[in-house]
Structure 1
Amino acid sequence: MLITKKILLFALLVFFTLNYCTAQTSRCQNVEGNGNMLTDAALKAILYKPPGERQGKILIPPGNSWVDNPHPLERDNRVLIIDDRPQQSAAAWIVHTVPGFPKPKATYTFPQSEYENGHLLICLTIDESQIESIVVALFVASPFIYYNDLPDTEVKIRPALKKLLNGETAIKPPFSTKQSIGTGAPASVPVQIFGKSGRSKYEIYKKIISKQLKKTIKVWSRRDKKLKANCKIPGRHILIVSSPISVDRQASNLEKDVTNWLIPDNGDIFCAVDKPYAMSQKAEPAVAICIKQANIFARFNDIAAKVDSCT
């Protein structure tokens, strides 16, 4: 049976697939490609490719450990968002740091130059009813849409998506938002999405994420010389993860790693951010996705074991 998918691509936090969501399914896959069954392991997957590695490590909760990705990243994959078959309501939302991915209706080849950099890929299997909440968070960040072939029947039932596709932007407050979704059942995992426009003038790490989580956070990100570790607010310190780090014995460093992520000093949350920890992002749109899952937190807490001194 031919399974058709409808596509929507953003230049900001992008809907895309790599290894986990293939042209035959709109669910995240495990390393064997099994993700059609409603199992917890099929609902979320994280791939971290340290610099110089061609395959990287995969974490599929509730598993406790990273596992080797058995496939290089140069495989041909497609972008999906909605399964438009009757009676189907599955969608895959994937956040990534890979430039130039994907190319609509064309074979994608992972850039050879990007193997030397560190990249992060996150796949979440969601119900299509969650798409509007995701779009609301992205709307304030005014993402550039470079391709979509969503049918009018799908767009008409989603007001925020319709505004986005019509080229509307957030010109009135609020210029920041928090949206809550969850991965597909069973054992749904809570996910929060934070979005802000450049008009907000907010620094997303301190002013939005740390404030919303009400916790000290440990940040892994390239940074400028202006934003530093900050321990002035009790209980809401901004700590900087020391470079280099080890992702299950694969080394990474800030010079080559383009990922931006954070975890609280204690807890069960992991966040990926689309902008680095730099003063410039106060005037730029930004989006962060925070996943509440103990095993994901634990693995990144291992990576973030050492932090720079803070005053």
Structure 2
Amino acid sequence: MTYFPTIVYKAPGQPNGKIILATAAASWDDGAQALSSDNGHSFASALQHVVRDNGNIKFLAYNNAPPGVANVKTKSNSKGVIILATNADSAAWIVHTVPGFPAAKTGYSWPVAENARGHLLICLTILESQINAIAASLLLVQPLIHYNDIPKTETAAMPYFNKLAEGKIPTLPPFTSRQTIRTQNGAAPVTVHIYKIYKKVIVNVLKKTIKVWSRRDSILKEDCRGSQRHIRLIKSPAAIDGHNTNLEADITNWAVSDPGNIFCHIDKPYFKSNQRTSNGSLFNEIAAQVEDCPLTMKSHNIFFYLLFNRGNVLNVLNN
């Protein structure tokens, strides 16, 4: 099983994405093919054994808007696929923002309606032994699992994964969970935090100001109190390497540290209503313009996010 660790950002209205490639992790590359194409781009390759049969490849897929099912009610907003090989110590974790995608074993089918929206897709190459740590984090988010054919013989020593697959309710306090997952080279940990708080957790963990790109309501504002660690909201519209984006059409939520060496993928927008639900330098290009600071921020948002140190992203992409 061969995967090509990748970060893809697709701007609203753009058929192709902008890609951070393993061979050029310091800059954005243009996607070779439209994401709607079933070949010729990294995610078509990464998902080839998800959308088609392969006896040695098994996977678990979760999505709050699962393929072919309408109006599903779920507490989670998470979307992703955990993939493993039964004949090797090889696995991958794909995290994305696309509803109704991918459909299991029915061929590659990108939702045409999503061409109008902005999306983020991340693929991490991991060792199979890291799946249990991923599952421990996902348990607290309670994702909607719509497909799982991973045999229990592969997960006998993975209690958290088995609980996740069986739909068990988490028992750990959601505000204190942190898992460190190592990618295949063993030297690039990716920290996964679940149900954290922008101000009290992310800013404190990073010990830096963060710039947030997210849909937002009229209640939660920037927080510029204190001398060094602030929450700044990135102005919309914005652009990344020539592709324009705006918060009305972009459904991604992410933050970048200032200085911009850490990138966070977040699955919840910056809304007050979410307060009880579930390569940084390149993204900092989008974050060049931020809104003026108000006097206060009345509340804090709770979310699930992946935390990437810039060096880790480079190492992940060079696996």
The TM-score range, normalised by the shorter chain, is 0.7 to 0.9
> Aligned pair count?
253
Who is 2:277 aligned against? 284
In 1: Cα distance, 2:163 partner to 2:90 partner: 23
Give % identity: 46
| Structure 1 residue 90: Cα displacement | 1.5
Who is 2:164 aligned against? 164
| Paired residues for 1:1-311 under 5 Å | 25-28=1-4, 44-61=5-22, 63-76=25-38, 77=44, 78=47, 79=50, 80=59, 81-85=83-87, 88-185=88-185, 188-196=187-195, 204-285=197-278, 296-311=279-294
| Structure 1 residue 183: Cα displacement | 1.9
In 1: Cα distance, 2:205 partner to 2:133 partner: 18
One-letter amino acid of the structure 1 residue matched with residue 12 of structure 2: P
Partner SS, residue 65 of structure 1: strand
In 2: Cα distance, 1:238 partner to 1:103 partner: 37
In 2: Cα distance, 1:141 partner to 1:242 partner: 29
| Structure 1 residue 233: Cα displacement | 3.7
In 2: Cα distance, 1:284 partner to 1:159 partner: 25
The one-character-per-residue Cα deviations of 1:7-50 (angstroms, maximum 9, x if unpaired) are xxxxxxxxxxxxxxxxxx3422xxxxxxxxxxxxxxx3111110
In 1: Cα distance, 2:128 partner to 2:203 partner: 29
Partner SS, residue 115 of structure 1: helix
Partner SS, residue 136 of structure 1: helix
| Structure 1 residue 168: Cα displacement | 1.1
| CA spacing shift, 1:26–1:169, aligned 2, 3 Å | farther
- Contact 2:203-2:210 at 8 Å conserved across structures: yes
Comparing 270-279 and 260-269, the one that deviates more: 260-269
In 2: Cα distance, 1:215 partner to 1:302 partner: 17
One-letter amino acid of the structure 2 residue matched with residue 216 of structure 1: T
Listed as ranges, the gaps of 5+ residues in structure 1 are 1-24, 29-43, 197-201, 286-295
One-letter amino acid of the structure 2 residue matched with residue 308 of structure 1: E
In 2: Cα distance, 1:172 partner to 1:115 partner: 38
TM-score (norm 1): 0.77
Partner SS, residue 155 of structure 2: helix
In 1: Cα distance, 2:174 partner to 2:268 partner: 20
Listed as ranges, the gaps of 5+ residues in structure 2 are 39-43, 51-58, 60-82, 295-319
- Contact 1:26-1:91 at 8 Å conserved across structures: no
TM-score (norm 2): 0.75
